[in-house]
């Protein structure tokens, strides 16, 4: 019955719609920004792969492998295998966008090497969030449905706590990503790989990329608040 009610709840669909719009807008923004600055070659002429290796070496990190990975905007650092994977448009390119993205990913490798607290927490939280995201909403719906007969909202609150693990993950991701970008820009400036307007371009690319994480956190937080208010409302009626 509750699932049927949610089907016609305009607030529920409004929240999902806002989250979807934010996600699509952020994705379009990062793609267009990356495409724009991919057309601007850096004066230094170094590629994303070369920048990544140089920054790693400058920070005394010699056990991280830098390798290309298929796709666009698929760049990431894998702390389990200590592998920095750069998308082919970044790995082989000497554009301002490529250099900025490569330096950002190296920022994560530096975080890992220096045991940056937020990154350690996020890595440890991944399995918790994965479990909570799949089970949380199901338990909320079952718990609220059963409350009509048992009078207890305990199961619904457990479901909310599990769903909250996903929100926590999206929120802790923000300082991790912002810190990686800050490290990247400082390194690029001090090394002279990018200068003046190039540095501003790289900052624009990284800021656009950060919007995707902000959008994800906002969408998850809105959903969490929706479920919390729904459970509280049902509790009062019970």
Distance CA 167, CA 18 (A): 16
Question: Of 105, 137, 177, 198, which residue is the catalytic one?
Answer: 105
Distance, CA of 80 to chain centre = 18
Task: Provide CB contacts within 8 A for 196, sequence distance 6+.
Answer: none
H-state helical runs in the chain: 2-7, 10-38, 48-58, 88-91, 96-113, 117-150, 154-191, 197-237
Distance CA 215, CA 182 (A): 20
**Catalytic: 88?**
no
Backbone torsion region of residue 133, taken as left when φ is above 0, otherwise alpha when ψ lies between -120 and 50, otherwise beta: alpha
Among 70, 55, 89, which Cα is nearest to 184's?
Answer: 55
Catalytic residues: 105
């Amino acid at each position: 019955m509750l699932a049927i009610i949610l089907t016609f709840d305009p607030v529920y669909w409004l929240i999902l719609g806002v989250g979807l719009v934010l996600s699509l807008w952020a994705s379009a923004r990062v793609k267009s920004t990356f495409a724009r600055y991919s057309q601007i070659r850096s004066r230094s002429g170094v590629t994303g792969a070369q920048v990544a290796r140089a920054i790693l070496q400058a920070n005394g990190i010699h056990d991280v492998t830098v390798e290309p990975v298929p796709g666009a905007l698929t760049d990431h650092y894998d702390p389990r295998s200590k592998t920095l994977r750069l998308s082919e448009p970044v790995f082989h390119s000497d554009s301002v966008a490529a250099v900025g993205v490569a330096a950002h990913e190296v920022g994560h490798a530096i975080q890992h090497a220096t045991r940056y607290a937020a990154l350690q927490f996020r890595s440890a939280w991944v399995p918790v969030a994965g479990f909570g995201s799949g089970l949380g909403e199901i338990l909320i719906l079952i718990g609220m449905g059963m409350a009509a007969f048992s009078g207890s909202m305990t199961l619904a609150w457990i479901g909310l706590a599990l769903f909250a693990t996903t929100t926590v993950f999206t929120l802790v991701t923000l300082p991790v990503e912002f810190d990686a970008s800050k490290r990247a820009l400082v390194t690029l400036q001090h090394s002279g790989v990018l200068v003046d307007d190039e540095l501003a371009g790289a900052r624009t690319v990284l800021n656009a990329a950060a919007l995707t994480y902000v959008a994800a956190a906002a969408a998850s937080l809105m959903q969490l608040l929706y479920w919390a208010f729904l459970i509280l409302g049902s509790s009062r009626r019970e």
